């Protein structure tokens, strides 16, 4: 089934929605303009809720299933078999605020009210369902597997003088197989993984109202995305962590990763001209964490600097403008206080805080069964930059995850 069955219905409503906006904006001039592609948001698959609550850190601290996507060397820190089926829902703050009002306006068929409500807002939604297994083999090595489906949708309306619509959609089917093992008497931890991505992608585009109203086929604007025709790519990830002996009491760890080794390159036919989904470049990242303990309280601090070469495919601005803002967009700082730890990656209750790209984040974790992970509830709030530079277009998002497992 093609996504544009849904998109055709959306186009019908968008036309009438923005006709009302035109009437509201007296003197507005709407002209056809070429749409702009790309987004300043550094999108990465399967961003973990624990990590997001801690400023999206993870290179030096991944001691759970998220290690597969942040640093596979962190799998060594998992001290027991983990099986999980997490369901993650993420929405932008704007989405939460306007959903009730939108429902009432739709019932009243008040399209002009809907237009006024959406102006300057950004609607974001992400759904992740995942099945993961972490299997330690004593002190020899740890094996990890994750199979997930992740959907992301973005819609924004801005510029009341010459209305612009931002729209993007991505569907990923992801399989990640990895392992981690200690070497040099456990002072070094190394890990590697194979990641397979099947992707359907409509990258975030900005289109003027004139284009929407005069074009009869949205496919020519946003491109085509068929769910039964996903593009496939496979890549390799490598990481290491170094346990620093000079800070052994602090359990300090330095880590580094190389993701998308050889690039994440999607299959294309010889005569295919569609650049989407875009290939991803090699990404180098480094991070530091320390984990002092104090009785029943586990403290965790971390700092990461990701995409050191500034070649992330989504961030075209920083590929040519490597200034201070681009460093801030790659800086992540976080902390966690876990009370009555259950295992290496979970506590009976934990609180988290951090800074993601300079924006404050926070979250919590609750394991109501106290001594095991049968039901794990996590919540996080974070901001991410969706513009070119810090402060351009920060988007506040709320994430809730319920994980069933053991």
| Half-sphere exposure in the Cβ direction for 109 (13 Å, CA) | 1
The mean pLDDT of the chain is 83
pLDDT at position 39 is: 60
pLDDT, position 379: 98
- Does the pLDDT at position 110 exceed 80? no
pLDDT on residue 213: 63
Q: Given this model, what pLDDT does residue 32 score?
A: 29
The CA distance from 78 to 67, in Å, is: 9
Q: pLDDT confidence of 18, banded at 50, 70, 90? A: very low
**What's the pLDDT at 118?**
73
Q: How confident is the model at residue 397 (pLDDT cuts 50, 70, 90)?
A: very high
pLDDT (tens digit per residue) in 273-300: 677 788 999 999 999 999 887 888 989 9
Query: What's the domain range around 359?
Result: 4-38+49-405
Q: What is the DSSP letter of 225?
A: -
Calculate mean pLDDT across residues 212-232: 71
What confidence score (pLDDT) does residue 15 get?
41
pLDDT of amino acid 251: 84
Instruction: Provide the domain count of the chain.
Output: 1
Helix and strand element counts for the chain (H, E):
9, 16
At 33 the pLDDT is 33
Residue 351 in any domain: the answer is yes
Q: Tell whether 130 is covered by a domain.
A: yes
Q: Is residue 44 a part of any domain in this protein?
A: no
- Structural tokens at position 319: 């590929």
pLDDT in tens, 337-395: 999 988 877 889 999 999 999 999 999 999 998 877 889 999 999 999 988 889 988 99
We report the CATH number of the domain holding residue 202 as: 2.40.160
Q: Please name which of 370, 31, 332 lies closest in space to residue 207, comparing C-alpha atoms.
A: 31
With respect to residue 381, please indicate whether it lies within any of the assigned structural domains. yes
Does 278 fall in a domain? yes
Q: Which of 8-17, 125-134, 261-270 has the lowest mean pLDDT?
A: 8-17
Taking the C-alpha atoms of residue 371 and residue 386, their distance in angstroms, rounded to an integer, is 40
State what percent of residues in the chain have pLDDT above 90: 51
Give domain status of residue 43, yes or no: no
Q: 178 to each of 31, 40, 264, 343, how far by Cα in Å?
A: 51, 30, 17, 20
Least confident stretch, 94-108, 182-196, 229-243: 94-108
In a domain, 140, yes or no: yes
Q: Is the pLDDT of residue 25 over 50?
A: no
pLDDT class of 190 with cuts at 50, 70, 90: very high
Tell me 320's DSSP state: H
Using 50, 70 and 90 to split pLDDT, how confident is the model at 9? very low
Predicted local confidence at residue 337, as pLDDT? 96
The whole-model pTM stands at 0.85
pLDDT for residue 216: 61
**Would you say 402 and 130 are in contact if contact means Cβ atoms under 8 Å apart?**
no
How far apart are the C-alpha atoms of 66 and 375, rounded to whole Å? 17
| 229 compared with 109, residue with greater pLDDT | 229
The secondary structure of 230-285 as a DSSP string is -EEEEEEEEEEEEE-GGGGGGT-EEEEEEEEET-B-----TT----PSPPB--EEE
What integer is the mean pLDDT of 4-26?
38
Residue 223 scores a pLDDT above 70: no
Greater confidence, 166 or 46? 46
């Amino acid at each position: 089934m093609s996504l544009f069955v849904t998109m055709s219905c959306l186009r019908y409503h968008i036309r009438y929605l923005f006709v009302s906006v035109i009437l509201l904006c007296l003197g507005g001039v709407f002209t056809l303009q070429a749409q702009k592609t790309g987004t300043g948001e550094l999108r990465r698959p399967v961003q973990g809720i624990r990590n997001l609550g801690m400023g999206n850190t993870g290179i030096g601290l991944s001691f759970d299933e998220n290690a597969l996507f942040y640093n596979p060397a962190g799998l060594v820190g998992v001290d027991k078999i983990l099986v999980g089926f997490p369901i993650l829902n993420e929405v932008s703050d704007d989405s939460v605020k306007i959903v009730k009002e939108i429902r009432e306006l739709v019932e009243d068929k008040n399209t002009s009210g809907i237009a006024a409500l959406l102006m300057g807002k950004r609607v974001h939604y992400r759904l992740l369902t995942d099945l993961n297994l972490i299997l330690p083999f004593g002190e020899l090595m740890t094996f990890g597997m994750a199979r997930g489906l992740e959907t992301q949708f973005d819609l924004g309306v801005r510029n009341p003088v010459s209305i612009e619509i931002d729209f993007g959609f991505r569907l990923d089917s992801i399989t990640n197989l990895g392992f981690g093992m200690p070497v040099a008497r456990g002072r070094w931890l190394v890990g590697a993984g194979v990641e397979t991505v099947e992707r359907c992608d409509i990258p975030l585009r900005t289109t003027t109202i004139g284009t929407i109203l005069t074009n009869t086929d949205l496919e020519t604007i946003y491109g085509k995305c068929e769910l039964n025709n996903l593009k496939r790519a496979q890549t390799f990830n490598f990481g290491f962590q170094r346990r620093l002996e000079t800070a052994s009491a602090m359990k300090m760890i330095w880590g580094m990763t190389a993701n998308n080794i050889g690039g994440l390159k999607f299959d294309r036919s010889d005569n295919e001209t569609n650049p989407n989904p875009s290939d991803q470049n090699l990404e180098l990242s480094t991070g530091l964490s320390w984990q002092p303990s104090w009785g029943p309280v586990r403290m965790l601090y971390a700092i990461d600097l990701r995409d050191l070469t500034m070649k992330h495919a989504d961030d075209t601005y920083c590929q040519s403008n490597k200034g201070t803002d681009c460093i801030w967009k790659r800086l992540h700082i976080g902390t966690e206080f876990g009370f009555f730890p259950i295992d290496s990656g979970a506590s009976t209750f934990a609180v988290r805080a951090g800074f993601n790209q300079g924006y404050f984040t926070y979250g919590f974790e609750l394991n109501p069964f106290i001594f095991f992970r049968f039901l794990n509830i996590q919540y996080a709030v974070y901001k991410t930059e969706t513009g070119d530079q810090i402060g351009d277009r920060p988007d506040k998002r709320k994430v809730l995850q319920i994980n069933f497992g053991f």
